[in-house]
Structures are given as C-alpha cells and as structure tokens.
Structure 1
Amino acid sequence: MEFRKAHWTTRLKRFALGVDSWIDDTLWGAGRRAGEAYERVRSYADRLTVSGGKRVVAEVASEGLNVGIAGALVLLMLAIPAFREGREEALKHQVFAVTFLDRYGSELGHRGARHDDSLKLEELPDHLIKAVLATEDRRFYDHFGIDIFGTFRAITVNARASGVVQGGSSLTQQLAKNLFLSNERSLDRKIKEAFLSLWLEYRLTKNEILKLYLDRAYTGGGTFGVAAASEYYFGKSVKDVSVAEAAMLAGLFKAPTKYAPHVNLPAARARANDVLNAMVDAGFMTAGQIDSAKRNPATPVDRKRDASPDYYLDWAFEEVRKLAEDGKIGPDRVLTVKTPHDPAIQDRADHAIETILRQHGPAYHAKQAASVVMDPDGAVRAIVGGRDYGASQFNRATAARQPGSSFKPFVYAAALSSGLYRPNTIVTDRPVCIGNWCPNNYGRSYAGSLPLTVALAKSINTIPVQMSVAIGRATGETHEARAARIGRLKIIETARAMGLTTPLTDTVSLPIGAAEVTVMDMAAGYAVLANGGLRAKPYAAIDIHNSQGDLIYRHDRDDSTGKRVLSTQVSQDLNFMLSKVPTEGTGRRAALDGVVTAGKTGTTNGYKDAWYVGYSGNLVGAVWFGNDDSSETANMTGGSLPAMTWKEIMQFAHQGLELKPIPGVTPVIDPKVAALAKANAPAADTATPGAGAGHMPRQSFEVLSAVGAMFRTIEPVRAAGRTAQAGIQDMTPPGGASRIR
C-alpha cells in the first residue's frame, strides 16, 4: 500500500497544535504546583496566626521593620557625601606639621597638627584633660560619637533660654568638623558632621580622638592645639600648666578669638572661672581643689608686641597642602618651608592699613582693608587679610570682591593683543549701549576724541565697552550685542591667562569691572605686566625640607617658570599707558618719590569697594578697602585711601633697592636722587635680616627723601587741585552697575 507524504501546510498545523498543547500543559502544571505551594504556605501560616496582644506586637514589629528599612535607605543616601569626606586618605591628608621661615631664614611661625610631638595623651596634665572634658563633652567616654542625651539637654536648655546657650555637639563631632568640614552653619554640614563622627569612632580609639582634638582645635593667636597654645600664652610646656592655666586653655575652645587672653584678659579669666565651676559640677574636682585656682588666676605672657603674620601663614599653609595634593613633596608631612615673606614690608603694610583706617576710616565709613605685596615672579612678600586676625580669621586678601576700573588693564590687554589698538590710537568717548544697558562716566559727560592712553589714565567707562564690541567685530560678527559677547569672552580668556582664578561671569558690565576677583589674583595679574608678559603664579615656598633636613622641593627647580601670556610689545604698551595713571590720571596719591610706577585705581558702584593696584620694576602691590557686609562707604574712591596706603607701603618697600625699570617705560628720575640712592644701596648679600632685602639704612633713606623734597617745593600747592580732580575722575555715580568705576 502506498503512503503519500502530508502536505507541508498540514505538517505545520500539526506542529503548531503540538506546541499549543505543550504550552497549555506546562502552564496548567505550573499553576497547579503554585496552588499547592500556596496552600502549603497558607496552612503553615495559619498555624502561626496570633490574636490579641500578640497580634498587636507582631503588626507593630512588621511595620517597624518596613519603616526601618526605608529609614536605613534614607540614612545611606545622607551618609554618602560624608563618607566621601571622611575617607582614610582625607584623614592622613590633614596631618601636617609645618614650620615656616621668612626669606632670611628666621622662624616665622607654625601651622598644622604637631603630630611629631613626643608628648602622648597620658603625658598631658590630668587636670587639663578634665577641664576640656568638663566643658566640651562630659560623656565623651560613654557615647558612640553622638551624645543623644547631651543633644536633647542642649535643646531643652536653649529652648528655655530662647537662644543658644549650650552646644549639643560632642567632642567627636567637633573634631569631625575641624578635620573635614567648614564652619558653615547648615543642615547639610550637621548631617555630614554626624556621620563623620561615627566614622571617626569606628576608625579610632577614644584616646586617639581626644588627642587629635587637643592637637587640631584652633586656640587663638594663630595657634592650633593645647601644646602650641601653652607655649604661646604662658611660655611653658603644656606638661607644666597649672589648674588655673589649664582652665584658661580649655576655655579657648568655645570661642578662641573672644577668650584669647592676649586679646581680652578679663573675658579669658571669666571663662576660666566657668570652666573651673564646670569641673566641680562634673565631679572631676572638688570646690576646695579649685579654690586656689580661682584666687590666683592665670597670667599670660605679654604678647602685645608680637606681630605674627597669621594671614600669610594661613595662606602659605594652604599652598603647601596644594603642593602635597599635586604630589610635589612626596609623603612627608613634617616640613620646614622657607618663604619669600619680608617681615619689614609685612610690618609696614599692617601698620599702614591700621593707621589709615583709624585716621580716615570713620569719615569714609570704611572698616576693613586688605593688601598683597609680591615680586614680579609671584613670590609673595606680605599679606594683610584684615586689620585684626584676633577678631576675625577671614582672609580678605583671598576673598572675591568687584574690582571696578582696576579690571580695565585686562580689557586693554585683550584689545592691544587683537592688534586693533595702540597707545596712541584715537578713540571717542561717546554714548554706547549694549541692548538696554548704557554705561556712563562720572557726571554723565563725555570727553570726545582722545588718545587711548589718556582714556585709560582718566578711567573712562565707555571705551572698554567699545573695545569689547570692536574685538568681536574683528571676527566678522556684525550684530553689536553678539560682537560684544565675543569680545567679552576674549577678555575673560586674557584675564584667566594673566592669573585671575575666580569665576568671571559674562555680563555686559564685565569690561568695567563687574566680575569678582581677589586681591591676590589682582596682584598676580599686574605682575604679568611688571615682568614683561610672563604668567606669575603666587607662591609661598622657596624651598621645602623634610624632618630629616633633606631638600624635597625647590620652586625654581620643581615648578616651571611662567609661560608667556602677553607679547613683549603688548606688555610694554600697557605699561606705558598705566604709568600715566599715578602721574596724570586717577592715582596721583599713589605716586612714589623717586620711583617710576604704574597702576590703576578702581571704585565700584555705590562706593562699596575701592582699589589701587600698582607696580614698579621691583615689586607689585594690590590694596582693597571696603566693608565685610558690602555696605556702601562715604564716597571712597580708589584714588583716596587705597592709593594713599599703597604709597605708604611701597615707598618703604623700595628703600635701598636697586631700582629696575618697568618694561617699556623709560625711567625719569632726577640724576642726583638716583646717584644718592645708588651710593647708599647695600649689596644684596649684606642685607640686614628682618629689614627687607637690600634695604638701605634708615638714615640714608631720610637723606634721600630730603633731597627728593628739594624738587617738590611747589607740590603742596598743586596737590589740592589734583586730589580733588583725581577723586572726581575715579568716582562712580550712584545708581546702577552700569556706572561701575
């Protein structure tokens, strides 16, 4: 019998039917098995069913578990930023012990933890440790990094007092803040602080935490840690402090600047009394044991004549840490750093700022000032970060403020670099608008056509704005606003290359100084002009030795020299133009006797900030005056107090120096004065330490000044008119950012 093969369509149908049958059977079998499993689970669960009180407990536990899991996830998310801050490397990164020397090799000061100190925790006086724990964290050895009971107690006490009278942070939390965080008052910081304290408790023992705290906390007067504070305030080892002295040291942790004995001895003694009472309340000592300390309070050594350059040391310490981060000093952390610091210039800068603020600050409603003096290669000789480090450690020399017209040299540098302008180019001071923004000069008047050099010397506002447009149009852009934006981007690029590090926001008013800069950056930017066009990055370390005395870093060897950021021609042209500011422009009060200088004044809208930044062939200096809260001054311009202060500092700083010319500026010095200066200038290798490199004797400088005075007999008569004119030229009309000067 013959069988015929089924048609392929028939075979396909049979195959599909088989697949369908298999799927149905599999699903039915899986469902049946799942049902059986469910029945088994339900049967087992039925045997676990509880009722009554047991059921309430089970429900609460179940919900608690759910909430706990959700809370743990939230805590993990909050902890991640803190974990990033508190890595092991970060803890090691903080461990520095740096001794700073000035340019002559004399000890300047210390910064960082003295972790190489041979003193161990058990070698510290017992009464000192008790005094610290009594005031900072009585339950230190009982909690896990966060004192829950102490926190609730502080909340209760503060609520009753309607203010903050008691802190809730544990000693571990305070250490976490000192090691890894800033003093910013925010919820984010408190969250990080809490998690970092747990991390520290996990990584370290209680005694290690306590020792770190005693070594790292700021104790006023530029000192860190009880060992340094004991030496500074009492002139003795911390091992030898009495109960009264220990109480005074422990009292510093709450507010070191307020209770520092060299600043306010009565307040320091009152605070020490509180510490002694706290020791009795905590049960660490008896009333009889502290009686003698109360009757014989601690007496610190006289520090009134000390002039520690604390702002400089703070900045230098951060610079050394940056070198460590860049891997330029290896793993060493016990270091001796020779700096370019000049004690004589520092002292004169401190004195000049304080004297001028005391004499003229009230009339101008100005309360603060800052200054930086450096060599043209970036070696920083002096920093004034404010008038009183004891009252505020905030360094105004590294804080950002609007520069006003002192920013214009960066605009002119970009314009000269474009090839569109030369110092003798004729420009027209006329109304100009970018969109609906129209800058104005003082008095809303315009000078018409004039040379570019005069426009810069007179600090005319419309010209930099016209320059930004011209730079943009040179690229082919015809639309004015878009061309101005292209020009501003070129200006920002030039300013960045010259050393400005702060974010420069691109706004229409940027060409007349609306962006924020620092005093340090402004000095560095002008140093490019003083040295002929090379980048001058500020530096604090000439050389660095480790604890074994080995040279591990030398600036001239391990840091490349400044690269050229401006052509020789552009820097010389700009120097020539800026040399007219102190002689014919807004900076007449900054003109030095017998020294050719260049510079620029700056005054911002509302007279909130006043600047003078200037330089010779030897030194660069930047001066800022204003208020910490950016409140307006009483018509203070850059040509007034800043220019006066700059002259006071730089006239002294140039004593005895072999004067170097500014590139592109022909020295115009009376030959008799120059000959006398040369005759009295000592050799560089015979300079008296502490008096400034190459400084001539004071008597010789007085003779030189007298000779210079012979050629200025009619200057007082002219000064009054020039002062009024300079003040008017540099002033900014009240109103808007469009009139920033």
Structure 2
Amino acid sequence: MGRAASRGELPEAPPPRAAGRARAPVGWGRWLRRGIVLSIWGSIAAAVLALSLVWDLPAPEKALAATRRPALTLEASNGQTISTSGDLYGDTLRLRDVPRFLPAALISIEDRRFRSHFGVDPVGLLRAAVTNVTSGRVVQGGSTLTQQLAKNLFLSPDRSFRRKAQEVVMALWLEHRFTKDQLLEIYLNRVYLGAGAWGVDAAARMYFGVSARNLTLWQAAMLMGLPKAPSRLNPRANPEAATRRAKEVLHAMAETGAITEEQATREGERISLPRQSARNAGWFADWAQDDLAAQFPEAGDLILRTTLDARVQALAEARLEATLHGPGEKAGVTQGAVVVLDATSGAVRAMVGGASYRESQFNRAVDARRQPGSAFKPFVVLAALENGMSIDSTVSDEPLTLGNWSPGNGHWVSRGEITVTDMLAHSINTAAVRVLLRAGGPAPAIAVAERLGLAGPFPRDATVVLGTGQASLLELVAAYAAFANGGLRVTPYALSATREGTALRPLPAPPPERAMSEDDAFAIRRALEAVVTRGTGRAAAVPGRIVGGKTGTTQDSRDAWFIGFSGRNVIGVWLGNDDGTPMDNVGGGTLPARLFHDILEALPR
C-alpha cells in the first residue's frame, strides 16, 4: 500500500465507519459554538435591557426619605380645620400603633395575596387579564401593594411598558430589602389620601379629627378605600362617593374573614361624616395667607389658629345665601359680601367674599373696591366735629348748587334747618354737603377717611361727601369699629396663635391706635344709633339690642351697603353685581339692612 502511494496512485478509501467518526466532532462543535455565541449575545441583550430599566431609577434610599412641600394648616378659633395646603403629614406610625383592622382593610381591598407573593403576583395578573378580556374593558388591575408602593415612591405615573417593567424591578428590590410588615408601614405612612394628606395619620386628622391610632372600623375602611382615587373619593370632595367606597371595603373585609358580614353591615350604617360648617371659608383662608412668607420666612410645617368663628362663618354664609336666592334674586342681585369683626381688637370672625367660593375665588369683601355711597358720611361728620361743629349743630337741608352740580335729596321734604344727627339719620345729601363745607372742604374729610384705614382713591371735590370715592367692605367695617369702640383704629387680622401638638403659642395682634377723641366717637356713635332707631336703617334694628349703623346706596342702585355695630360686633354687608348692573330698587336700608339684622339676631349677646 505504501508502494502504490509512492508511485502516485490514490490511496484506498477509509471504511465507512471510520469516515463517520471523523465528521462527528465537526457537527457537535458547530452547535456548541453557536450556543456559546447565542448565550453571550443573550446575556449582553439582557444586560442592556436591565441597564435601560435601571439607569435612570432614583436611589431607593433617597426616595424613601422623600422631600415635600411644607404643610400649612389653618384652624378656626375652636380648632376645626378650615384649610390645608402643601403636603400634610401626620405622625409616623408602626403597625403596633394602629388598630389591626386598618392594615386588614388595605389588604382586603387592594391585595389579598400580599402575604404570599414575592412582590409580583402572577395569579393576580392572570385573574385580572381574564376579567378584563371577559368584560371587554379594563375593570381590574393586577398590581400588588408592593408595586403600588414602588410606583408611588420611585416612579412617574406614565402608562408605558418601560415604566411598568421598572415598577416590577423596584417591587422585587423592596421585597428583598424589607419585611412584609415594614412594607405595610411604609405604605400606610406614605400613601396619598387626598386633600394634601400623605399617610393615614394626616388623613385621619384631616377627615375625622382624630389620630390614626384611634380610628373606628368604618373610618379605617373609608381611608383604605381612598388610594384607588384619592382626589375623587375623599370625604371632603365627595362624601357620598367616600361612603359608598367605605362600604365596599367593609364587605371586602368580610369576604377575606377579617370581619363578619354582620360587622360590615353594622359599620356601614354607622358612617357619619362631620358636617363642614365653614364650607366657603376659602376667602378667609386666602386672605389669612397673604403675608405668611413675611411673617414666617424660614418656617417649615405650620399649624395656625385663626380668629375665624366657624359658627358665625356658617351663619353669615347661610344668611347671605338665603338673601341671594330669595328676595335678592327677584331684585336682580347676584353677588354679596359679609364681614364680621371684633370692634375692640380687629379680629375677623367671619368673611364671606361672594355667592360661592367654588364658582369664584375673587374676594368681594377685600379686593372689590366700590363707591361706598352715604356710608362715607360719618367721616365727613368726624371732620366737622374736629373743626368745631357739634353733633347737635344745625345745617340747612334746602337745595343748593355748586358750579354745575346740584345734589338731590330723593323723597326728602325739606325742613329748613336740621341737626347733624338728623342729617346722618335720614342721609340728607344737601345738608351733608354743607357739613363738608363747614369742615373745611373735601381735604379734611379725605384725611379722616385715610386716618381710619380707607385707601381711596377719592375725588378732590364736594362729591366725595356722597361716597364717590372707592373703598372695600373690610376697610369700611374696620373704620366703623372706631366709632363703636371709643375712637381706636383697629387693624383687621386673621392669625391668633401657632399650634405645636396641643400647645398654642399666641401671636401678637396689631395694637389699636387712637384715631379720634372719645367724645367725638361717642357723638358719632349716638348719631349712628339714630340711623337705626328712626332713620334709613330701621330694618337693621334688633329688639333688645342697641344697634348703630349707616346705609349706603350708589347711583341707580349699583351698590347697596349697611355697615353697623352692636356690642363688640361690627358687621358689614354689600350687595350688588360684579358687572355693575343696577339692582331693582335695592338700597342700603332694604336688603343689606335686613341681612345685617338676620345675622346680628342670631349672634350671642
């Protein structure tokens, strides 16, 4: 055989079996090489995918210690919450601090397999998919409590595959990092429950006025029903929807055995939400917050006790609403404002800035500047008293003309000479002009008005006596307080104390300042009482009470005022329309005086 090869002859072919053994390593090696390459590229792809999911995730430690906006809570004088802003947090609680039925309610309504899954619940996902396919729409979600916590703590609310995948990654990390009880504690302390409240303790205090430590069963069920739609289902936004949702949670608890069906039914019947007595106190709350940055420049969370009397606020709202929807509607009146103020201190007890805060947040008690009409005349009288006149001095009520201007007296029949008191009581324009002239003209009257807090602007001519300048209702009420309290100008204020826990730290109130002599204040007060006993303001009289005040009506009944006082209360009323449309024969002595009467009559003596 060797010789044949040396002579150039072909060698004999190897046996078939030998040939088969030679090719086998080549085939298996090719598949092995392919498997190795695919596994390498698969690992690279998986790494790239994982990197794409986690490269922009926040550091978990930072998210768990999330920052928030400082919270502000405003309370009425009795401690009732009237306004919250910022991010409101309560105490950080452990599971041992809260009733057992609180986490039970959460698990029953949100994630019944929470204790058994590893952060993602395949059974729950499958069940949700089947339910959604069967219904033809999305009616059930498959997210676990851990996934919800991951989304709320770390992620945006975007609905995308990438965000959902990140949610799964973070849920797995949370389950690895924390125990089930710790996850529940984080959730209960950090979940958003509507109206600016984060966590169960803040929500319990806001909605029910109690700590989460002291929640009843139905209250716990209501709170744990909120994560589904906190802005829409919370008791402040929609009490009826909150109640329905709470009953759903109670029956879910019965299905899981956390409570009995009898308990669920009984607790559902016990649901009773506290009445929101200061429903439109938003105008007051907005006004109270105007200068907070200057007053508390470096403050964090604040709980501030205010001067607002929730009962008086509710009373003023109800009486104004009854006026606007009753006789006011017939007379073409669509808006109004009311201020109740303490005459001795300037504390604002009630402020209603319009017909409905929900429909319009514009504060007609503070920000609307309108002609005060004859409500300006007491300032003219004070200027005259300070220039030597007496409240019993007499002036002519005969017609007069100044240049091209001739003020009218309406239906008043001239008597010749009347006292300054009678001029105010019956609001006689010609006599008021003569009092203005004897006081030295417009300048002294304007100076008096500015001294008492009216900002104007004012015309620099005799028409100012008829209230052709501008003033806000709050300015007029505060100015009239000086006539009621013996001559001291008060500054309206809203904040009375800061609260830390149960301790109240009083805030300094603006001190009253002497603005007129006691004798002049007494004289004008006596004249304003005559307005009510025998003049244009008789509709404001309340039997058994000494009442003083002044009516004001502008041209064509575009504005109607009554500013009055009794005891320590100064009450101002304005009625009109935002666009200045004339009302139907509404003057200060009609609907405004009656509204003043209705409010004062219900106040304690």
- TM-score, normalising length: structure 1: 0.50
Instruction: Describe the shift of the 1:243–1:632 C-alpha distance in structure 2 as closer, same or farther (beyond 3 A).
Output: same
Report the Cα offset of residue 632 of structure 1.
1.0
Separation in structure 2 between the aligned mates of residue 516 and residue 131 of structure 1, nearest angstrom: 53
Report the Cα offset of residue 443 of structure 1.
4.1
Q: Does the residue aligned with 2:489 lie in a helix, a strand or coil?
A: coil
Any residues of structure 2 matched to 1:115-264 within 5 Å, and which?
Answer: 240=224, 245=229, 248=232, 261=238
Amino acid at match of 1:455: M
| Partner in structure 1 of residue 71 of structure 2 | 97
Report the Cα offset of residue 244 of structure 1.
5.5
Report the Cα offset of residue 452 of structure 1.
1.2
Matched, 1:598 2:548: yes
Instruction: Describe the shift of the 1:629–1:618 C-alpha distance in structure 2 as closer, same or farther (beyond 3 A).
Output: same
Does structure 2 conserve the Cα–Cα contact (< 8 Å) formed by 1:608 and 1:632? yes
Q: Which stretch of structure 1 is more off in the superposition, 501-510 or 430-439?
A: 501-510
Matched, 1:414 2:405: no
Instruction: Describe the shift of the 1:445–1:384 C-alpha distance in structure 2 as closer, same or farther (beyond 3 A).
Output: same
Report the Cα offset of residue 317 of structure 1.
5.1
Separation in structure 1 between the aligned mates of residue 484 and residue 520 of structure 2, nearest angstrom: 12
| Partner in structure 1 of residue 82 of structure 2 | 109
Separation in structure 1 between the aligned mates of residue 578 and residue 203 of structure 2, nearest angstrom: 29
Does structure 2 conserve the Cα–Cα contact (< 8 Å) formed by 1:128 and 1:246? no
Separation in structure 2 between the aligned mates of residue 235 and residue 393 of structure 1, nearest angstrom: 31
Does structure 2 conserve the Cα–Cα contact (< 8 Å) formed by 1:337 and 1:544? yes
Amino acid at match of 2:331: Y
Separation in structure 1 between the aligned mates of residue 482 and residue 580 of structure 2, nearest angstrom: 29
Q: Does the residue aligned with 2:513 lie in a helix, a strand or coil?
A: coil
| Partner in structure 2 of residue 331 of structure 1 | 298
Does structure 2 conserve the Cα–Cα contact (< 8 Å) formed by 1:608 and 1:626? yes
Instruction: Describe the shift of the 1:235–1:500 C-alpha distance in structure 2 as closer, same or farther (beyond 3 A).
Output: farther
Matched, 1:614 2:564: yes
Q: Does the residue aligned with 2:439 lie in a helix, a strand or coil?
A: helix
Between Structure 1 and Structure 2, how many residues are aligned?
Answer: 414
**How many percent of aligned residue pairs carry the same amino acid?**
31
Separation in structure 2 between the aligned mates of residue 639 and residue 446 of structure 1, nearest angstrom: 20
Matched, 1:307 2:307: no
Q: Which stretch of structure 1 is more off in the superposition, 405-414 or 494-503?
A: 494-503
Partner deviation per Cα, 1:348-370 (whole Å, 9 max, x = no partner): 22221112222212221112221
Report the Cα offset of residue 427 of structure 1.
0.3
| Partner in structure 1 of residue 425 of structure 2 | 457
Report the Cα offset of residue 528 of structure 1.
0.6
Q: Does the residue aligned with 2:401 lie in a helix, a strand or coil?
A: coil
Does structure 1 conserve the Cα–Cα contact (< 8 Å) formed by 2:547 and 2:564? yes
Separation in structure 2 between the aligned mates of residue 643 and residue 463 of structure 1, nearest angstrom: 23
Report the Cα offset of residue 110 of structure 1.
2.6
Q: Does the residue aligned with 1:610 lie in a helix, a strand or coil?
A: strand
2:452 counterpart (470, 494, 498): 498
Matched, 1:646 2:596: yes
| Partner in structure 2 of residue 685 of structure 1 | none
Partner deviation per Cα, 1:55-83 (whole Å, 9 max, x = no partner): xxxxxxxxxxxxxxxxxxxxxxxxxxxxx
Instruction: Describe the shift of the 1:492–1:244 C-alpha distance in structure 2 as closer, same or farther (beyond 3 A).
Output: same
2:328 counterpart (332, 344, 361): 361
Q: Does the residue aligned with 1:555 lie in a helix, a strand or coil?
A: coil
Report the Cα offset of residue 129 of structure 1.
10
User: Structure 2 unaligned runs (5+)?
Assistant: 1-67, 93-145, 164-190, 209-217, 242-270
| Partner in structure 1 of residue 468 of structure 2 | 514
Does structure 2 conserve the Cα–Cα contact (< 8 Å) formed by 1:437 and 1:508? no
Instruction: Describe the shift of the 1:626–1:576 C-alpha distance in structure 2 as closer, same or farther (beyond 3 A).
Output: same
Matched, 1:436 2:414: no
Does structure 2 conserve the Cα–Cα contact (< 8 Å) formed by 1:229 and 1:249? no
Does structure 1 conserve the Cα–Cα contact (< 8 Å) formed by 2:226 and 2:233? no
Instruction: Describe the shift of the 1:606–1:262 C-alpha distance in structure 2 as closer, same or farther (beyond 3 A).
Output: farther
Instruction: Kindly indicate which of the two structures has a greater share of residues assigned to helix.
Output: 1
Separation in structure 1 between the aligned mates of residue 429 and residue 153 of structure 2, nearest angstrom: 62
Does structure 2 conserve the Cα–Cα contact (< 8 Å) formed by 1:366 and 1:626? yes
Partner deviation per Cα, 1:400-427 (whole Å, 9 max, x = no partner): 22211112111211121222x2111110
Does structure 1 conserve the Cα–Cα contact (< 8 Å) formed by 2:283 and 2:353? no
Separation in structure 2 between the aligned mates of residue 585 and residue 545 of structure 1, nearest angstrom: 47
Matched, 1:565 2:515: yes
Separation in structure 2 between the aligned mates of residue 505 and residue 303 of structure 1, nearest angstrom: 53
Report the Cα offset of residue 574 of structure 1.
0.5
Amino acid at match of 1:406: A
Q: Which runs of 4+ in 1 moved over 6 A?
A: 122-135, 225-231, 233-239, 301-304
Instruction: Describe the shift of the 1:465–1:97 C-alpha distance in structure 2 as closer, same or farther (beyond 3 A).
Output: farther
Q: Does the residue aligned with 1:634 lie in a helix, a strand or coil?
A: coil
Q: Does the residue aligned with 2:365 lie in a helix, a strand or coil?
A: helix
Instruction: Describe the shift of the 1:443–1:544 C-alpha distance in structure 2 as closer, same or farther (beyond 3 A).
Output: same
Separation in structure 2 between the aligned mates of residue 98 and residue 525 of structure 1, nearest angstrom: 31
Separation in structure 2 between the aligned mates of residue 131 and residue 587 of structure 1, nearest angstrom: 64
Report the Cα offset of residue 623 of structure 1.
0.9
| Partner in structure 2 of residue 387 of structure 1 | 355
Report the Cα offset of residue 302 of structure 1.
8.2
Report the Cα offset of residue 495 of structure 1.
1.1
Partner deviation per Cα, 1:79-133 (whole Å, 9 max, x = no partner): xxxxxxxxxxxxxxx9653333333x422323331366689xx998688899996
Q: Does the residue aligned with 1:442 lie in a helix, a strand or coil?
A: coil
Report the Cα offset of residue 430 of structure 1.
2.5
Partner deviation per Cα, 1:270-329 (whole Å, 9 max, x = no partner): xxxxxxxxxxxxxxxxxxxxxxxxxxxxxxx98794223543x5434543552541x4x5
Instruction: Describe the shift of the 1:129–1:95 C-alpha distance in structure 2 as closer, same or farther (beyond 3 A).
Output: closer
Separation in structure 2 between the aligned mates of residue 536 and residue 378 of structure 1, nearest angstrom: 5
Q: Which stretch of structure 1 is more off in the superposition, 501-510 or 534-543?
A: 501-510
Instruction: Describe the shift of the 1:490–1:125 C-alpha distance in structure 2 as closer, same or farther (beyond 3 A).
Output: farther
Matched, 1:554 2:507: yes
Separation in structure 1 between the aligned mates of residue 355 and residue 556 of structure 2, nearest angstrom: 23
Matched, 1:637 2:605: no
Does structure 2 conserve the Cα–Cα contact (< 8 Å) formed by 1:124 and 1:238? no
Report the Cα offset of residue 390 of structure 1.
2.2
Amino acid at match of 1:363: K
Amino acid at match of 1:442: G
Partner deviation per Cα, 1:551-583 (whole Å, 9 max, x = no partner): 3x5225xx4x21100111111110111110111
Separation in structure 2 between the aligned mates of residue 533 and residue 132 of structure 1, nearest angstrom: 60
Q: Does the residue aligned with 1:396 lie in a helix, a strand or coil?
A: coil
Amino acid at match of 1:99: T
Does structure 2 conserve the Cα–Cα contact (< 8 Å) formed by 1:333 and 1:546? no
| Partner in structure 1 of residue 536 of structure 2 | 586
Separation in structure 2 between the aligned mates of residue 458 and residue 444 of structure 1, nearest angstrom: 8
Matched, 1:427 2:395: yes
Instruction: Describe the shift of the 1:225–1:448 C-alpha distance in structure 2 as closer, same or farther (beyond 3 A).
Output: farther
Does structure 2 conserve the Cα–Cα contact (< 8 Å) formed by 1:457 and 1:586? yes
Does structure 1 conserve the Cα–Cα contact (< 8 Å) formed by 2:556 and 2:583? yes
| Partner in structure 1 of residue 443 of structure 2 | 489
Does structure 1 conserve the Cα–Cα contact (< 8 Å) formed by 2:379 and 2:449? yes
Larger Rg: 2
Separation in structure 2 between the aligned mates of residue 651 and residue 548 of structure 1, nearest angstrom: 34
Instruction: Describe the shift of the 1:445–1:96 C-alpha distance in structure 2 as closer, same or farther (beyond 3 A).
Output: farther
Does structure 1 conserve the Cα–Cα contact (< 8 Å) formed by 2:72 and 2:88? no
Partner deviation per Cα, 1:159-206 (whole Å, 9 max, x = no partner): xxxxxxxxxxxxxxxxxxxxxxxxxxxxxxxxxxxxxxxxxxxxxxxx
